[in-house]
Structure 1
Amino acid sequence: MTAPASPGGSSPLRIGGFALLGLGVVAAVIGFATLAVSGTGGSAAAAPSQTATASASAPAATPSPGPSADGSVPLPHFGSSPTSATTEPTIATPPPAPAPAPAPVPAAGSVGGGGGAAVARVPLRVYNNGTIHGLAAQAAQDFRNSGWTVTAEGNYPSGIISTSTVYYRPGTDEQAAAQLLGSQFGLRVEPRFAGLDDASPGLIVIVTNDYQRR
């Protein structure tokens, strides 16, 4: 019969359990140490790559030039920067002013009136209503000398005209011609009255003693 183990002694099973527990703790410590070393190594490996990339992208630092032989410090040199092209504004040149139109030349058979307008030379008939013999012939000659055409001359016995007058048909070109003749020889200018309505076209000049001979 086997004697029972003494309560104060160590059991082999208990010793084996403690040994296994110790091995597990050692394995855990080794595993944690391996993980820590691997993480540190990855970070350290990545750091040189990032540093190399940053170094490649950054421009190389240019060493500051030292003082020259005479002790002066050279100024830094900057590259020339491109200048933007400036286009000069184009100023439009105004066209030359047109030359003034030449003044109209009076046609044959016309004389210059007021303002340079051409006035047609209307034929004249001259009549004497004064007491001076040959007054109509004298006036007719004065008119011819000034370029007017006189078609008839004689006496006017049908009434008394107060002053030498040139008569015209209203609404015709005779009015402008009558005004021009009156301004040249100091004659009164009037439209035809009833006693001259049936006369043929043209200016009718009746001169009296106040006519100023030319």
Structure 2
Amino acid sequence: MSFFDGMSRPFRLGGIVLIGVAVLAAVVGTTVALTGSDSDQNNAAPSPSSSAPPNQGSPPPGPPSSSGPPSSSAPPPSSSSATPPPPSSSPASPAPGQPGGPPAPGQPGGQPGDSGSNQQVVAKWVTVRVYNNSMIHGLAARAADDLRRQGWNVAEVSGYPSGVIPTTTAFFRPGTDEEAAAKALAASFGMRAEARFPGIEQSSPGVIVIVTNDYKGSANKGS
């Protein structure tokens, strides 16, 4: 015999109704609980890491600035930029008479215009030609002997009949060794020294000494 057999019919009906209501309430409650749980999960706020918008104040990433300090790995300045060594001083010019230097006074190759015995030593190797332009017979030969006694290289003795020379003169070709020789002769024998004139420009090389009536011989009487 069941629990409902001892009850009257009205009570049995009421109990059945209560049981049904209880079952229905349990079903509804379970459904609501499940539905509410799903709704809570769907309505949960997203995590800050997944939903937070990017920081509007931060600048976008970009290439590193080129205006930063130079890398510490840059090579040091080249040592070639250091103070250059002082320029080497030019070698001193050799003294006169030394190898590579100018000739000393009294040596061959000295400067034209030197006077006295030094100039004679410089120029006495130059050929000298002595011509007579006076009425004194043998004056050119006498002058040639005077020159030879002082070491001059007299190569010719003759007369000069092509004109009148006003004074005893040693003629030379400018820019040659004859110029120094002629000036040395002029200093030693009291004569003039001049460049060749047109009448003798094409004559043989050498100093041309044309003696006239005023020739007096060597000015250095002790020679």
TM-score (norm 1): 0.47
TM-score (norm 2): 0.46
